Chain A
Amino acid sequence: MSKPNDLVQGTLDLLLLKILALEPLHGWAISLRLKSISGDVLQVSEGSLYPALHKLEQEGWITAEWKQTENNRRAKFYSLTRLGKRQLESEAANWQRLSSAISQVIQLSET
């Protein structure tokens, strides 16, 4: 699997879970949402998006459903499962711990 080099490993999963926790979306909409909320800071290649989604689906964290979009085209909508919700919580907590630990290290004053 090609790793999204520009992202800390594993954070793409967290982002995707979080986005889908808000509302069910299809792949295109997810890629737009990723771009809009993170701006240009978090570059996610569109190529990495779908394998990541598939992985989440195979893990049972998200589930997919074919539905009509607003302009009447069939698309695959992903939504969070119960398992996914639990996964999101634990990953978010992990991230919090990690990032606060790292920021503490960074804020150490150099003497």
Chain B
Amino acid sequence: MRMEHWRFTARLRLRSILRGRRVEQELNEELQFHLEHKIEEGIANGLSTKEARYAAMRAMDGLEQRKQEMRDMRRIHWLTDFLDDARFAIRSLRRTSGLTAFVVITLALGIGMTSGTFSMVDALIFRPYPVPRPSGVVTLVSTTHDSSFDDFSYREYLDIRGKTKSYDGVIANAAMEAVGFSAEPAATPRIKGGMMVSGNYFHVLGVEPRLGRSFREDEDRVPGRNAVVVLGPDFWKHEFASDPGVIGKTIRLNGSDFTVIGVAPETFPGMLIFGHPDFYMPLSMARVFSTNRQKNFFEDRDDRELTVRARLQPGATLQQGQNELAVLAKTFEREYPKFNRGRSAAVHTQFEMRTRGDDGNWKFGVIFAILALAVLLVACTNVAGLLLSRARARRREIAVRLAIGAGRFRLIRLLLTESLILASLGGLAGIAIGYGVVLWFQSFQNVIFMTDLPFSIPFRMDTRVLLASLALSALSALLCGLAPALQSTRVDLVNGLKSADVDVPGRKRLWGRNVLVVAQVSASLMLLTASFLMVRGFQHDLREGTGFAKDHLLMVSFDPRLVQYSAAQTQQFYKLLAERVRVAPGVASESLTQNIPLGQDDFDGIAFVPENFQMPRDRENFNSTMDTVDEGYFETMGIPILRGRGFLASDTADAPRVAVVNEQFAKHYWPGAAAVGKHIRLESSAGTPVEIVGITETIKYQSGFERPMDFVYMPLAQHPIARMTLMLRSSGDPLQLVQPVKDVVRTLDPNLPMLHTMAYEDYYQNQAVNGPRIAMKLVGSMGVVGLLLAIAGLYGLVAYNVSRRTREIGIRIALGALSSDVLRLVMGKGLVLVGIGTVIGLAMGFGVEHLMNSMLFNAGGVDFVAYVIVVPSLFLVTLLAAYVPARRASRIAPTQALRYE
């Protein structure tokens, strides 16, 4: 019944909407038909034509009312009313086109800033994994005293996979790493990003291959057995021109042959935020890719290289998974105390993983979003203030409407329609601005990622961001429209009709505008403080420097595994390379290092026990970051040796083990004592002793913003590493050394690729300076926009307040007040408001500073310089905004003011 009913009526409603004019015409015609008959009847009864017409009309009881009743019967009046409102609103907005443009631009700036930063926050925090039912995918982490987000080893992974029951499958992947790829065996390998994954990886995630098949469950079990590879979608498109014939083809990875078995779908660019692996290999092929020669990937329980994820069984809770894993971690601790003492495990959702405390990117996103929301808030208060003034100027119009019977609700709807239209226009323009912001972000792709690996900036203007922006627009419509609408429809009819512009006596009337002024001052003060602090924080950290010399350095990386060198061959290669480039023309000094400071790759860790150190009962060893370098490193990089010595050629593989630590490390473990000559033991108190022979200055290792951290250097001869970077100090332009290095490498092995060949200073710029600089620009422009908006809004509000008191001022002047009295009167009020706003804004500024210090910068305490600059300048600016209208008011001639309405 209901359905059938609906089928009938929907068609009629649709007709009323779409063919409105036709329906209207029919209505008229029908009534006309009736009237004509009625008139004829009247004439037949002996009335005159005129009398008959009157009688007919009378019988209708008001023709127009009847028509309206019939229109209401169509049940679409909510729509027609809205359209009428919209038409009316557009007309009245066009009449005040200057104000409309200002409001739209203001809202557009606010919404644009917010949607631009939301695209950032979304990509960094909220965007779900690109897999079916992404919320069921959780991440399992190993936890220790030092790290809450440690990885698992292969053995541990197999145990978790075999012994847990809360999951519909447990998967593992290694980090995406540089892999030498060649499509033909003869070609020189190029660096691509490959990721080792467990056999069930695609299956458990629910990702169906676009072509071919994905890995089989058992393909990660037998070391070296399954030389198969699944290609990433982008890689397949660019490297193989989307050729479906690629399945079954043999490609060469790190010098070994692999058979292509499948291609991942377009919808699955990978599970990482920034990286999109070019191809996936099974864990069983770890020997071809593993970087750590000291450990056996398949056997060593402490070779923790795997990120472990799992899909919760439907109905299983995170807590169940957590409990089960905790029990398993206890078992590990009992059975393998050597590797797992003090180690526990935890399960995290995607959100928890994305907002982990040891990662900085999302924090920037959140702070940007907070600042952008402050800009939006200022924009909204601005617009609210304008609409309020506008609505009050329309008091008579509104009073007339109320007097002739318009309902208050109906009028509020009309006014809200106006602000909705304003917000829609502002929202559309804002989305355009937001899109510009996103494009601006993306233009830094090459500036930020100076690497051969497939990284990209993930900020997009997608449906999610669009919807959020639209919601924001609607919200701001309500925010800036509701208060004016409510206030201006609460009109005292008698007064409203008598005069256009007289305030009803009472305190309440000014309350709204005062709140707006205070909100504006405080929000913009907070915004300005935040952006000022951020800019100063960045500048401080950049000025602080890195602690080593960045100029005149050429960097070139090598990975002899790409051409299948054995460990011995590799070390021989580096020895010869160092010897030969040292004597090349233009080379002042040379060195080799495993990682460059402030580089893209994380440093390795080292587990150790310091000599004569009381170990806490519950821990086996300590951890520190480390680097492997040769004897020329400290000189080439200009890192001062404070005590003891650097590495020497005599620190060979057969000589006693030695290490150099930084000052921070020495102070940490031997405070007040000389660390040189002390020993550390590797892994445990029974491990290999290593003598500390020198102390270096503490430099910046991983980022320009880090706190001083412990650091250990090992000599390359005693700690062989396959992938090393050659650092050359030049006497002239470092890039002029590229050709001599090429010549040397050619004499050693013409097939060995030179990777990441560039001047270190350029690399440093991209890696450590450009990102913060972009952030500073973003924050700075938000601060400026916020301030400009606040000035404009403040000026408008004060000026409006003054203009409303023009008559009062006229009377005062007529009664003998001096213009200085008037100035004091008007300014005094503004000053009080600005003062209140400053106090609130200062409190919020301190809050934001605290937040930023705890999240981003290593600086503690309060940056007084920032406040000393920001507070008085904002105060001055707002004072000026109050002064100009006040001055104008004080100059009004009384005659003019009294006539003013």
Q: Which residues of A contact B (CB under 8 A)?
A: 1-2, 26-28, 31, 45-48, 50-51, 54-55, 57-60, 66, 73-76, 81, 83
Contacts and interface: CB of A to CB of B under 8 A. Distances in A.
A60 B12 contact: yes
Interface residues of B, number: 26
Given A27-B34, A74-B29, A50 B70 contact: yes
B567 to A, nearest CB: 86
23 contacts: A2-B69, A27-B34, A28-B34, A28-B37, A45-B59, A45-B61, A47-B59, A50-B30, A50-B31, A50-B34, A50-B70, A51-B69, A54-B70, A58-B13, A58-B74, A59-B5, A60-B9, A66-B26, A73-B33, A74-B29, A75-B33, A76-B29, A83-B5
A62 to B, nearest CB: 11
A57 B12 contact: yes
Interface string B8-47: 1100110000000000001001110110011000000000
A1 B60 contact: no
Contacts of B74: 54, 58
Nearest to B68: A51
B66 A50 contact: yes
B479 to A, nearest CB: 37
Those 7 A-B pairs whose CB atoms lie nearest each other, nearest first = A60-B8, A47-B61, A54-B73, A51-B69, A28-B37, A54-B70, A55-B73
B34 A31 contact: yes
A2 B72 CA distance: 12
A27 B33 contact: yes
Nearest to A56: B73
Contacts of A75: 30, 33
Contact of B66 (A31, A47, A55, A83): A47
Given A26-B33, A81-B8, A76 B26 contact: yes
B4 interface: yes
B75 A58 contact: yes
Nearest to B30: A76
Contacts of B66: 47, 50-51
B33 A58 contact: no
A53 to B, nearest CB: 8
User: Could you tell me the dominant secondary structure of chain A's interface residues?
Assistant: helix
Given A27-B34, A50-B30, A76-B26, A58 B69 contact: no
A77 to B, nearest CB: 10
B451 to A, nearest CB: 67
Nearest to B6: A60
A57 B66 CA distance: 16
A75 B26 CA distance: 10
B5 to A, nearest CB: 6
B62 interface: yes
Given A45-B61, A47-B59, A59-B9, A76 B33 contact: yes
Interface in B64-90: 65-66, 69-70, 72-75
Contacts of A45: 59, 61
A55 B65 CA distance: 15
Contacts of A76: 26, 29-30, 33
A19 to B, nearest CB: 16
A95 to B, nearest CB: 20
A51 B70 contact: yes
A50 B31 CA distance: 8
Given A28-B34, A46-B38, A48-B61, 13 more contacts: A2-B65, A26-B33, A27-B30, A45-B59, A47-B62, A47-B65, A50-B70, A51-B66, A54-B73, A54-B74, A58-B12, A75-B30, A76-B29
Contacts of A1: 69, 72-73
Contacts of B26: 66, 76
A73 B37 CA distance: 11
Contacts of A51: 66, 69-70, 73
Nearest to A61: B8
Given A50-B30, A58-B9, A60-B12, A2 B61 contact: yes
A95 B5 CA distance: 22
A50 B13 CA distance: 18
A76 B34 CA distance: 10
B395 to A, nearest CB: 33
B44 to A, nearest CB: 13
A90 to B, nearest CB: 11
Contacts of B33: 26-28, 73-76
Given A51-B70, A58-B74, A46 B34 contact: yes
B60 to A, nearest CB: 5
A46 B56 CA distance: 9
A56 B446 CA distance: 69
A28 B62 CA distance: 17
A2 B69 CA distance: 8
Contacts of A31: 34
A71 B592 CA distance: 109
Contacts of B73: 1, 51, 54-55, 57-58
A47 B65 CA distance: 9
Contacts of B31: 50
A48 B38 CA distance: 15
A46 B29 CA distance: 16
B63 to A, nearest CB: 8
Contacts of A54: 69-70, 73-74
Contacts of A73: 33
Given A1-B69, A83-B8, A47 B30 contact: no
A46 B66 CA distance: 10
Nearest to A59: B9
Contacts of A2: 61, 65, 69
Contacts of B75: 58
Nearest to B75: A58
A83 B4 CA distance: 8
A46 B59 contact: yes
B230 to A, nearest CB: 59
B514 to A, nearest CB: 46
Contacts of A81: 8
Contacts of B60: 46-47
Nearest to B70: A54
A4 B98 CA distance: 51
A82 B102 CA distance: 57
Contacts of B65: 2, 47
A60 B13 CA distance: 11
B6 to A, nearest CB: 9
Most buried by A among B13, B33, B38, B59: B33
Contacts of B70: 50-51, 54
B872 to A, nearest CB: 66
A40 B60 CA distance: 18
A60 B8 CA distance: 6
B27 to A, nearest CB: 8
